[in-house]
Chains A and B, each alone.
Chain A
Amino acid sequence: AQRVTQPEKLLSVFKGAPVELKCNYSYSGSPELFWYVQYSRQRLQLLLRHISRESIKGFTADLNKGETSFHLKKPFAQEEDSAMYYCALSYGQNFVFGPGTRLSVLP
């Protein structure tokens, strides 16, 4: 079965430090990959997708097919980035979410 792994359940960084949330997937074809974010007491929302190669709220993510990774990065973390982050894989008619990483940005 296709899988998405996010090795860190919790990631804590200080404000202003770089942050990288790891995501690896298992799929041999051409995947669609996404990052979703859920802030405290808010609904889950799409942060970015690899197709658009966009930067949202300072976050970027590059698809590395060789390493089957789609890590989420931000050069300078802000306290308002504290949230739950989910990586998601779509392939054909299917998709799957990773287990999520809770990012805590400390003052």
Chain B
Amino acid sequence: DVKVTQSSRYLVKRTGEKVFLECVQDMDHENMFWYRQDPGLGLRLIYFSYDVKMKEKGDIPEGYSVSREKKERFSLILESASTNQTSMYLCASSLTSGRTMGNGQFFGPGTRLTVL
């Protein structure tokens, strides 16, 4: 079974803080993704990565950055957290190339971030 883990289930931060969300997958997947999930909006792609040290902007990258120094780890960084970044953050990984879902993506349990 593919395991995608996220460092925290719940996180509370203050406005202006720098926030790190970590994601690790154990199946040697090339592709990793960060989404935010909001009611009524579905999942929106923030950033994705095809390979180590590679990253591509998704649909809503503003206010976020990412880091992929190792194949199994993909970090999402909120440089200066704001209240509108309060959300559920989902990490996913897949074997397929590019952004196609092909065989599907495997998701982590999510991190619920609250910015006060």
In the bound complex, how far is the Cα of B45 from the Cα of A99, in angstroms?
Answer: 13
Number of A-B contacts (CB under 8 A): 54
Q: Which residues of B contact A100 (CB under 8 A)?
A: 40, 42
Apart from the given pairs A49-B101, A88-B101, 17 other A-B contacts in the complex at a CB distance below 8 Å: A4-B42, A43-B107, A43-B108, A43-B109, A45-B107, A46-B105, A86-B43, A90-B101, A93-B100, A95-B45, A95-B101, A96-B59, A98-B42, A99-B40, A99-B42, A100-B40, A100-B42
| A–B pairs, 19, beta carbons within 8 Å | A32-B101, A34-B104, A42-B109, A43-B4, A44-B90, A44-B92, A46-B104, A46-B105, A46-B106, A49-B101, A49-B104, A90-B99, A92-B98, A93-B99, A94-B99, A95-B101, A97-B42, A97-B43, A99-B41
Q: A53 near B: Cβ within 8 Å?
A: no
Q: Which residues of A contact B106 (CB under 8 A)?
A: 45-46
- By the criterion of a CB under 8 Å from any partner CB, how many residues of chain A are at the interface? 22
Q: Which residues of B contact A95 (CB under 8 A)?
A: 45, 99-101
- By the criterion of a CB under 8 Å from any partner CB, how many residues of chain B are at the interface? 23
Interface hits, B42-75 → A, CB 8 Å: 42-45, 59
**Across the two chains, which residue of chain A brings its CB closest to B107?**
A44
Give B residues with C-beta under 8 Å from A. 4, 35, 40-45, 59, 90, 92, 98-102, 104-110
Q: A9 near B: Cβ within 8 Å?
A: yes
Interface of A is mostly: strand
In the bound complex, how far is the Cα of B40 from the Cα of A45, in angstroms?
Answer: 19
Task: Determine whether the beta carbon of B42 is less than 8 Å from that of A92.
Answer: no
**Across the two chains, which residue of chain B brings its CB closest to A4?**
B42
Q: Which of A4, A86, A90, A99 is within 8 Å of B100, CB to CB? A: A90
Interface centre among B98, B105, B106 (most CB of A within 10 A): B105
Given contacts A94-B99, A95-B99, contact A43 B42 (CB under 8 A): no
